[in-house]
Amino acid sequence: MQTISIDTKHKHYEVYVGSHIYESALSLYTHQLQKADHVVIFVDEVVANLHGEKLQKPLETISGKAVHVFKLPAGESSKAVETFMACHSFLLEIGCTRKSIIFALGGGACGDVVGFVASTFMRGIPFFQCPTTILAHDSAVGGKTAINHPQGKNMIGSFYQPEAVLFDVSTLSTLPQQEILSGMAEVIKHALISDQQWLQELLEFPSFADISSTQYLAFLVKGIQVKAAIVEEDEYEQSVRKYLNLGHTYGHAIEASTGFGKITHGESVAIGLVIALLLSEEKQLLDQGNARKLFEALTKFGYSFDSVLEHGIDELLSYMKRDKKASFGELHFVLLEQIGKPCMNIVSVEDVTLAHEQLRKWIKEVH
Ligand SMILES: NC(=O)c1ccc[n+]([C@@H]2O[C@H](COP(=O)([O-])OP(=O)(O)OC[C@H]3O[C@@H](n4cnc5c(N)ncnc54)[C@H](O)[C@@H]3O)[C@@H](O)[C@H]2O)c1
Ligand SMILES: [Zn+2]
C-alpha cells in the first residue's frame, strides 16, 4: 500500500493506493470508526454489485457495528439534486448525527455528490472517498464536491476535504473500455502539466491494454502526486490549481454540446488537450509537432474525435464563454510553455477557431 499525504491549510489527510487495501487502510482509523454513532456507505449501484462487499465487510468488523448501505443511481445521474436530497433523507431517517461517518464508493460522480452531502449534512460530517475508476484518482483528491443544476454541470458545490482516500485499484479490473479511456485522459493531462519523460513513456504504449497493473499503479500514484502538490499550494483555485483545467475549456464545450452522458468527461478532455497544445503552438509557446504527436497517440489508443466534426465553432464558443473559469467574456485557457510547464493565457476567438479548424483537418485526413 502506498501513501500520499495531502496537506492543505485546513486539513491533513492521506491517500492510500494499492490492491485490496481496504482492511489495512481502515484499521488505521479504528478509533474514529468505533466512536461513530452510524457508519453509512453511499455506493454507485453498479459498483455495489461488483465491489460493495469488499468495503462493507472490513468496515463492519473494524467499526464494530452494522453498516448502512444506500445505493445511488449509476454515474452522472447521481449528481441530480433529487439524489442529493434522497441521501439527506436517508441519513435523517436512520438517525445520523454529527457523530456519523459516511463513505463514497464509486467513480467521480458518486464522490462528488457524497462529498457534497457530507459537507452539508448538519453543516458538515466526516467522509471517506473510496474511488473505483481511473478518473477518480483525480476527482477524489482535492476536496471539490458538486451536484448538477439543470442549467449547468457542477453548479452547486463546495470545497470539502475527506478524512482519507482509500483507492483499491483491484476495483479497476471491471471498468468498461470507455471508462478506461476517460480516466487515462486525466492521467495524460497530469503528465502534460508535470513531466515530459512520463508523457513520452505513456504515449509510447501501443495500447492501454499493454500497461501492466504495476505500471498502472505507478501512473496513478504519480497523477495523485501531481494533483496533491497543486492542491496543497492552491486549495481554492486562485492560482496554480487552474492548471489542472488543461484541456477542459474546449473539452467541456464538447461534452456539453454532445450531451452529458453521450461522451465521457475524459474523452472530451482528451480532445481539449489537443486543442490546448495546438493553441500553445499557435502562440509560439510550445515547439511545433507536440499537438500532432498527441493527436496521433490518442487516435491510436482509440479516442474518437468525431464530435469535433459534429459541432461548429460557434456552438462550442457559446459554451466556452459560459465556462465557470471564463471571466468578463474573455477566454482563459491553460496552455503549455513546454511539456511539464503550464501557464494561463488569454485566447481570442480567432485563435480558437484556427485550432478547431486545424484539428478538423487532421481528423478528416485519418478518416
Ligand atoms: N471533484 C473533482 O475534482 C472532479 C474532477 C474531475 C471529474 N469530476 C467529476 O467526476 C465525474 C466523472 O467521474 P468518473 O469518470 O469516475 O465517472 P462516473 O462516476 O460517472 O462512473 C462512470 C461509470 O462507471 C461505472 N463504474 C464505476 N466504477 C466502476 C468499476 N470499478 N467497475 C465497473 N463500472 C464502474 C459507474 O457505474 C458509471 O456508470 C464527473 O461528474 C466529473 O464532473 C470531479
Ligand atoms: Zn477533468
pLDDT at 49: 97
> What does the alpha-carbon distance between residue 77 and residue 187 come to, in Å, rounded to a whole number?
24
pLDDT at 235: 83
Question: Residues enclosing ligand 1, CB less than 6 A?
Answer: 44, 46-47, 50, 74-76, 79, 106-110, 112, 132-133, 135-136, 138-139, 142, 144, 154, 171-172, 174-175, 179, 182, 265
The conformation of residue 244, written as its DSSP 8-state character, comes to: G
> What does the alpha-carbon distance between residue 100 and residue 94 come to, in Å, rounded to a whole number?
11
Q: Tell me, in angstroms, the distance from the centre of ligand 1 to residue 282's CA.
A: 33
Alpha helices by DSSP H, listed for the chain, are 22-26, 30-35, 45-63, 81-93, 108-120, 136-139, 177-192, 196-204, 213-233, 248-258, 265-282, 290-301, 306-310, 313-320, 349-366
pLDDT at 193: 97
**106-148 pLDDT, tens per residue?**
999 999 999 999 999 999 999 999 999 999 999 999 999 999 9
Question: Which residue, 298, 67, 73, is CA-closest to 308?
Answer: 298
* Residue in this structure with the C-alpha cell 483537418, named with its chain if needed: 361
Is 343 annotated as contributing to ligand binding?
Answer: no
* Residue in this structure with the C-alpha cell 474546449, named with its chain if needed: 250
Is 120 annotated as contributing to ligand binding?
Answer: no
Q: Per-residue pLDDT averaged across 196-216, rounded?
A: 96
Is 37 annotated as contributing to ligand binding?
Answer: no
**302-359 pLDDT, tens per residue?**
999 999 999 999 999 999 987 655 566 679 999 999 999 999 999 999 999 999 999 9
> What does the alpha-carbon distance between residue 269 and residue 290 come to, in Å, rounded to a whole number?
17
Is 246 annotated as contributing to ligand binding?
Answer: no
User: Which CATH architecture does the domain made up of 2-174 adopt?
Assistant: 3-Layer(aba) Sandwich (3.40)
> What does the alpha-carbon distance between residue 43 and residue 275 come to, in Å, rounded to a whole number?
35
| Residue 19: alpha-carbon gap to chain centroid | 20
C-alpha cell at 332: 482563459
> What does the alpha-carbon distance between residue 96 and residue 118 come to, in Å, rounded to a whole number?
12
Q: Where in the chain is the domain with CATH 3.40.50.1970?
A: 2-174
For 94, other C-beta atoms within 10 Å of its C-beta total 12
Q: Is 175 helix (H, G, I), strand (E, B) or coil?
A: coil
Closest residue (by CA) to atom 23 of ligand 1?
75
Q: Per-residue pLDDT averaged across 175-180, rounded?
A: 96
For 66, other C-beta atoms within 10 Å of its C-beta total 10
pLDDT at 324: 58
pLDDT at 238: 84
Can 252 be counted among the known catalytic residues? yes
Per-residue pLDDT band for 196 (boundaries 50, 70, 90) equals: very high
> What does the alpha-carbon distance between residue 66 and residue 264 come to, in Å, rounded to a whole number?
36
pLDDT at 233: 86
Q: Tell me, in angstroms, the distance from the centre of ligand 1 to residue 110's CA.
A: 7
CATH class of the domain comprising 177-202+234-366? mainly alpha
Q: Where in the chain is the domain with CATH 1.20.1090.10?
A: 177-202+234-366
Apex 147 CA angle, 49 and 16, nearest 5: 55
Q: Which amino acid type is present at position 125?
A: I
**58-82 pLDDT, tens per residue?**
999 999 999 999 999 999 999 999 9
Q: Tell me, in angstroms, the distance from the centre of ligand 1 to residue 111's CA.
A: 8
Q: Is 2 helix (H, G, I), strand (E, B) or coil?
A: strand
**236-247 pLDDT, tens per residue?**
888 888 999 999
Q: What single string gives the DSSP state of each residue in 287-354?
A: -TTHHHHHHHHHHHHT---HHHHHS-HHHHHHHHTT-TT-BTTBEEEEEEEETTEEEEEEE-HHHHHH
Q: Tell me, in angstroms, the distance from the centre of ligand 2 to residue 94's CA.
A: 34
**229-288 pLDDT, tens per residue?**
999 988 888 888 899 999 999 999 999 999 877 899 999 999 999 999 999 999 999 999
Q: Per-residue pLDDT averaged across 23-51, rounded?
A: 98
pLDDT at 357: 97
Pairing type for strands 127-131 and 144-149 reads unpaired
How far CA 307 is from CA of 108, 322, 359, in Å, comes to 23, 20, 11
Cβ 187 vs Cβ 153: under 8 Å: no
The percentage of residues in the chain with a pLDDT greater than 70, rounded to a whole number, is 98
pLDDT at 9: 86
Q: Which residues of 151-167 are buried (b: 16+ CB within 10 A; e: fewer)?
A: eebbeebebbbbbbbbb
Q: Per-residue pLDDT averaged across 16-37, rounded?
A: 98
For 251, other C-beta atoms within 10 Å of its C-beta total 26
pLDDT at 367: 80
> What does the alpha-carbon distance between residue 326 and residue 320 come to, in Å, rounded to a whole number?
7
pLDDT at 88: 98
pLDDT at 265: 93
Per-residue pLDDT band for 153 (boundaries 50, 70, 90) equals: confident
Check whether 366 has a pLDDT greater than 90. no
**How high is the mean pLDDT of the chain?**
95
pLDDT at 326: 57
